Structure 1
Amino acid sequence: MIRNSQIRLGKSEALAGGSLADAVAKASGGKVLRWYVAQSTAEELLVEVTTWDEIRERPKDAATDRFHPGRNVVLNVVPTGIGCSIGGFAGDAAPVSNLLAGAADYLIANPNTVNASNFINLQSRNILYTDGYSIDLFCAGAAELHIPYANRIGLIVENTDERSVATIYNIVNAVRAIHGVNISDVVVTEQRIGGRCHENGSKGFVGTVDNPQVLFDACERLISRGVNAIAITTNISDLPLHNYAKHFDGQYPNPIGGVEAIISYLVTNRFRLPSAHAPLLNAKELDLAHAVVDARGAGEFASESGLACVLIGLKNAPQIAPPNGSRIADVVNVHNLAAVVMPASCLGGVPAVYAQARGIPVIAVRENQTILRVDREVMRMDEVIEVENYAEAAGVLLALRNGIHLESVRRPLRTLRY
């Protein structure tokens, strides 16, 4: 059973000594799939949690005793379903991701950062297209990221009409022919998977799945045929069409992103393979305020399906448990993590919490606004580096990489005296 709920934690106790993740797990019965701090009062944190009864326990600090020197890694997180003004639409955080990638050996980015249906922009080859559950394990020190030369991708298509299946196969063949992606197997399910939108109390979107076993059975068929990355494309139910139209006018969070995250979290947790979800057919029959949609959502609206970007992104997606015989080009873990970049108003998620506990710099971007108000003050993160925009964040990353103390490049410069 997949459940979305809210829990309240005493603020002082939950934030003491970097124990928030443990406090969330304890209050949720230890079956936590995904969580984030959504609201705060002077005394309490309100945490929105997705739990799953069949969750696999994560490895215990599997990466903390291994070091891979010489690699500088930056994590750029754009949370989904909370209305990020940059990255909350259709791949509109791709330019800033490519910018930040120029200041690191590797930039880890969650899929929705660059996903834009037909228009994915992975300009920098050092961007690691990494699903949210793998990012959580990486930040916790529970998994390493094994960077492959290329993955062998399997695709799951939810049971649908013949015309839609034909559209999907045309997209698959186009990605194979144009991008050189190895998509070796496709499974069309006989039953519905049943992904559904769910709006939390914070007005952020998550989701649930009616028939996860249908999804898992399809995964097992693909894995038995030798795939090591899984793309999923399904229809989404309970889609609030009025608010979805407002999203394309730039005024509302994307209601699909939350359920997409849950689907990929389920697959990666169960099978330890990179995964990503795409809408089967993008919604077009909407009562839009403008015939030309907001530029940030135009990539999705101009594409018939959301699938192409996922297939292209998974081509080099990192593995957390590579199968025997995998060809791996490089390996990194949390010891390589130089900084985490996030919107300044949503610092209550796994990456920021674990980064603070490990003394890893968190760069908070004020310009990337969200519907949340969970900032450095709420989370009592005194060492957060706040910047106005991603251009400034890139400068901070270059300074950190080159060992330049940030105080030395700002004015006035404090004079030390005897």
Structure 2
Amino acid sequence: MITNRRYELDRSDVVSAAGLLELVENSFEEPALRWYISEANQARIIVESTEYGGVLPEPAPEPDSRRSGLDVVVSLVPTGIGCSIGGYAGDAAPVTALLAEVADLVVTNPNAVNASNFIRSGERVLYTEGSCIDAFSRGDINLHRSRGNRVGLIIERSDEAAIEHILNVTNAVRAVHGVNLIDYVITDQPIGSRCVRNASGAYVGSVDAPDVLLKAAQQLIERGATSIAVTTNVQDLVADDYSAHFSGREANPVGGVEAIISHLIVRTLGVPAAHAPMINFKELSLDHAVVDARSAGEIVSTSGLACVLIGLASAPQMQAVRGSRLTDEITFDDVVAVVVPAGALGGIPVLEALSRRIPVIAVRGNTTILEVTAAELGLPGVIEVSNYAEAAGLIAALRGGIDPESIARPMRTLGRSV
């Protein structure tokens, strides 16, 4: 059973990022697959969570935390909250590539670069699902760079024409990109993936038959898969909301349920996973035949699957997998900065980074439907910048050991009163 819940918590006595994280995580009725702070002030916070009534494995013993010697940036683009950059269809790919130019590696969400038939990633970009980023931020896992995963595909039971199209997409990705797709499973019954909209306006999701999903994933892992792609028919998608999304006025309604599906597989089975709609929803009443540029990749693609298969082919593993070609092992101690929209600071990676004194760079130009800012959360140490170009410059300074204060004006003079 998957349930979406909302909590109002008194945070008046909380004075640190670690304390705020503890307050939130002690509030859940059942294990949370995904949560975020949707509203905050000095007296209270509102938390929206998606919780799972089944059994989730306990984290393994903390891994070795030796540094890799690489400078890693975590770039967060939360899905379902209307990020103006990255909340549509792979439209955070250019800023992700920019950050990769000034870092050795960038860890980012699949939705930052996924655009159905299109994807821009690269060797410096680690295509990493959200709950995996959470576990990485906690120090529960390290990330193992992969030279090539064995991808397994779950196809939800559907009509023959849809399944044939999915198999054509899959074969095209194999032939053009060389992805090692070892097998696929068509489920015996529907998985039942559904869009849900929370009180904040953010989109989350639910799954009718999580056991069907996990059974299919387990079958593929037993056949040798080291990453899992899922494609389903997303239900309860309101046509007017989706039309507004393609016009650039609304958050992506599909992103939340995609996150829940991948979180469930990753948390339960410990392999990289990502979801794509089987057939992109096209029954739309649009203001213009030409949609918002940020959504164009989706509108011109029949299925959302190709980018997921390509991304998962090189997604980092959460543990050393026998028979896999792994290279660098990355720890959270390698992270030089976490980059995040300035209004979406209420999540695990940000709070963990602040508690470890890792710089958090908040980008004001990436607006969302939330206003969970450093000021509202009472979090010192967050560095606000106007855009991703400024964020890239700041990362270059951090890598070079240059104090950000020394390149800003006015500059404090020590020993002199104002």
TM-score (norm 1): 0.97
1:67 — aligned with what? Answer: 66
1:12 — aligned with what? Answer: 12
1:79 — aligned with what? Answer: 78
- AA partner of residue 19 (structure 1): G
Shift in Å, 1:27: 1.2
- AA partner of residue 314 (structure 1): L
- AA partner of residue 146 (structure 1): H
Task: Answer yes or no: is the 8 Å Cα contact 2:30–2:52 preserved in 1.
Answer: no
1:97 — aligned with what? Answer: 96
Q: Alignment partner of 2:248: what SS? A: coil
Match 1:365 to one of 363, 366, 376 = 363
| Counterparts of 1:385 and 1:111, CA distance in 2 | 25
- AA partner of residue 8 (structure 1): E
1:118 — aligned with what? Answer: 117
| Counterparts of 1:17 and 1:370, CA distance in 2 | 21
| Counterparts of 1:394 and 1:358, CA distance in 2 | 21
| Counterparts of 2:16 and 2:415, CA distance in 1 | 36
Q: Alignment partner of 1:316: what SS? A: coil
Q: Alignment partner of 1:18: what SS? A: helix
Match 2:128 to one of 119, 122, 130 = 130
Shift in Å, 1:379: 1.5
Shift in Å, 1:30: 5.2
Task: Answer yes or no: is the 8 Å Cα contact 2:338–2:350 preserved in 1.
Answer: yes
Aligned length: 416
Q: For 1:96-126, what per-residue CA distance to the aligned partner results, in whole angstroms no more than 9, with x for missing partners? A: 000001111110010000000011111x311
Q: Alignment partner of 2:313: what SS? A: helix
| Counterparts of 1:202 and 1:62, CA distance in 2 | 35
Task: Answer yes or no: is the 8 Å Cα contact 1:58–1:142 preserved in 2.
Answer: no
Q: Alignment partner of 1:203: what SS? A: coil
| Counterparts of 2:304 and 2:320, CA distance in 1 | 27
Q: For 1:5-44, what per-residue CA distance to the aligned partner results, in whole angstroms no more than 9, with x for missing partners? A: 1111112334546122322222113511111100124411
Shift in Å, 1:327: 2.1
| Counterparts of 1:147 and 1:356, CA distance in 2 | 25
| Counterparts of 1:207 and 1:305, CA distance in 2 | 20
Q: Alignment partner of 1:84: what SS? A: coil
Shift in Å, 1:285: 1.3
1:250 — aligned with what? Answer: 248
After superposition, the Cα gap between the structure-2 partners of 1:61 and 1:72, relative to the gap in structure 1 and judged at 3 Å, is farther
Task: Answer yes or no: is the 8 Å Cα contact 1:81–1:206 preserved in 2.
Answer: yes
Shift in Å, 1:60: 5.9
| Counterparts of 1:281 and 1:258, CA distance in 2 | 17
Task: Answer yes or no: is the 8 Å Cα contact 1:58–1:137 preserved in 2.
Answer: no
Task: Answer yes or no: is the 8 Å Cα contact 1:157–1:188 preserved in 2.
Answer: yes
Q: Alignment partner of 1:48: what SS? A: strand
1:33 — aligned with what? Answer: 33
Does 1:302 find its partner at 2:300?
A: yes
- AA partner of residue 113 (structure 2): V
Task: Answer yes or no: is the 8 Å Cα contact 2:117–2:307 preserved in 1.
Answer: yes
| Counterparts of 2:12 and 2:57, CA distance in 1 | 27
Structure 2 spans left out of the alignment, 5+ residues: none
Q: Percent identity, please.
A: 50
| Counterparts of 1:165 and 1:39, CA distance in 2 | 41
Does 1:406 find its partner at 2:400?
A: no
Q: Alignment partner of 1:236: what SS? A: coil
Correspondence list, 1:98-247, <5 A: 98-122=97-121, 124-247=122-245
1:3 — aligned with what? Answer: 3
2:280 — aligned with what? Answer: 282
Task: Answer yes or no: is the 8 Å Cα contact 1:196–1:238 preserved in 2.
Answer: yes
TM-score (norm 2): 0.97
Q: Alignment partner of 2:358: what SS? A: coil
